[in-house]
Chains A and B, each alone.
Chain A
Amino acid sequence: DVKVTQSSRYLVKRTGEKVFLECVQDMDHENMFWYRQDPGLGLRLIYFSYDVKMKEKGDIPEGYSVSREKKERFSLILESASTNQTSMYLCASLAGVQETQYFGPGTRLLVL
């Protein structure tokens, strides 16, 4: 079974702090994704990566950056956290075309 893990289930940070969310997958998948989930808005794509060191902006990249130094690990960085970044963050991985996306358990981030 594919396993996608996220470094924290819950995080509380202060406004202005730099925040790192980490995601690790164990199936050698090429593609990895970061979404944020807010009530009534579904999942919105922040960034994705289709290979090591390769990244593309999703639909809402402002205020975020990402890093993919190793194939199995995809990090989401909030350079200076703001209260409007309070949300549930979901990481996912995907083997390739016509494959299934697998999700981690999510990180619920509260920015005070």
Chain B
Amino acid sequence: AQSVTQPDIHITVSEGASLELRCNYSYGATPYLFWYVQSPGQGLQLLLKYFSGDTLVQGIKGFEAEFKRSQSSFNLRKPSVHWSDAAEYFCAVGAWDNFNKFYFGSGTKLNVKP
């Protein structure tokens, strides 16, 4: 069965520090992977996506993610965090083998210390 795991519920980093948010997926076919960000009280905004090709993908706001098939992972990174990055981050896998469905992780809430 398809599933997405985000093992870190909360992460706190200092402003200017680097960030890595972990995501592991379970999916039998070729995964289509996404990272979304949600600011408080808002909907989800797409940060980046991976469909095929280069396993290091660049997104908006200076984020990048690396797809590692051998580890079933799609970790999100940013070299230097800004206070405005404080939000909740969701990893998702798209399953298009039957209907178009998405499976989301439980989210990682990022706090940024000044």
Contacts and interface: CB of A to CB of B under 8 A. Distances in A.
Interface of A: 4, 31, 33, 35, 40-45, 48, 50, 56, 58, 90, 92, 94, 96-98, 100-106, 108
Contact of B106 (A41, A45, A50, A98): A41
A90 B43 contact: yes
Interface in B78-114: 90, 92, 94, 96, 99-102, 104-107
Given A50-B100, A98-B51, A105 B9 contact: no
Interface of B: 4, 6, 9, 32, 34, 36, 41-46, 49, 51, 90, 92, 94, 96, 99-102, 104-107
> Dominant SS at the A interface?
strand
B25 to A, nearest CB: 13
Contacts, number: 60
Nearest to B51: A98
A40 B4 CA distance: 13
A58 to B, nearest CB: 8
A91 to B, nearest CB: 8
6 contacts: A42-B6, A92-B44, A101-B34, A103-B43, A103-B45, A106-B41
